[in-house]
Amino acid sequence: MTFFRLNISMLMCFLILSACLEADLQRLMEGNQRFVQEKLKHPGRTPETRKATTSGQEPFAIIMGCSDSRVPPEVIFDQGIGDLFVVRVAGNVIGPLELDSINYSALHLGSSVIVVLGHQGCGAVNAVVEGESQDIKAVAALIEPAVKEARKGQPPNLLETAIKDNAIRMKDYLLKTPEIRKLVDAGKIEVYAGYYKSKTGAVEILK
Ligand SMILES: [Zn+2]
């Protein structure tokens, strides 16, 4: 039955590509809703899934997240083995190594959604805001433009604004890279920025 349903949905995806992309974002956000509502399904964490994915992987989403121990993508999106291609680095910034990793999954593994995920109370962004980033120079250099931009608007919550601006800037950067641009233009992938609130567990998709 599951196999049958899978084939029907794959056929629908083939027929309506954009609907398929939306369905994949929805799959991610439904997992986050289960996490928020404490209705976890823990999909794909069985020995069967492990064995079935030994010969290959088709992660439907790429998460470009922060290394922060409190933001594990498979947990907060309630996904399993083989579902997410995860790149994590302090401040969820994208340099050459991160871009190569993202491109690998986007170009070769068929992922159709990318989420650059900032999070509440990000220590890396906070270090830049507070001017105490001497120990994370390479990361800070990539975060600084977002903090500068956020400061200009004099927002009531500078840290939260800078974290969101940083995720949006990284999303915009991805959209300008030739590989991702080509996939977006072909309707094969969509790129989003998100913000995870540890207080509620909810992920908000940013504009
Ligand atoms: Zn962080």
Q: What is the CATH number of the domain that holds 41?
A: 3.40.1050.10
CA of 91 to the centre of ligand 1 (A): 5
pLDDT at 1: 41
pLDDT at 207: 76
Is the pLDDT at 45 greater than 80? The verdict is yes
17 vs 146: which has the higher pLDDT: 146
- Which residues have CB under 8 Å from 167's CB, separation 6+? 92, 116, 117, 118, 193, 194, 195, 206
CA of 88 to the centre of ligand 1 (A): 10
Q: How many domains does the chain have?
A: 1
Average pLDDT, integer, range 85-114 = 98
**Rounded Cα–Cα distance for residues 91 and 119 (Å):** 9
- Under the banding of pLDDT at 50, 70 and 90, the label for residue 22 is confident
Q: How far is CA 132 from CA 105, 137, 158, 203, in A?
A: 34, 10, 15, 28
Which range marks the domain in which residue 193 is found?
2-206
CA of 2 to the centre of ligand 1 (A): 37
Is the pLDDT at 15 greater than 70? The verdict is no
CA of 32 to the centre of ligand 1 (A): 18
CA of 139 to the centre of ligand 1 (A): 11
User: How many other CB atoms are found less than 10 A from the CB of residue 100?
Assistant: 11
CA of 120 to the centre of ligand 1 (A): 8
CA of 127 to the centre of ligand 1 (A): 10
CA of 94 to the centre of ligand 1 (A): 13
pLDDT at 17: 61
**Rounded Cα–Cα distance for residues 33 and 27 (Å):** 10
Nearest to 142 by CA among 165, 160, 110: 165
Q: How many helices (H) and strands (E) does the chain have?
A: 9, 5
Is the pLDDT at 16 greater than 80? The verdict is no
Model's pTM, two decimal places?
0.90
Per the listing, tokens 């956000």 go with 29
pLDDT at 11: 53
CA of 14 to the centre of ligand 1 (A): 37
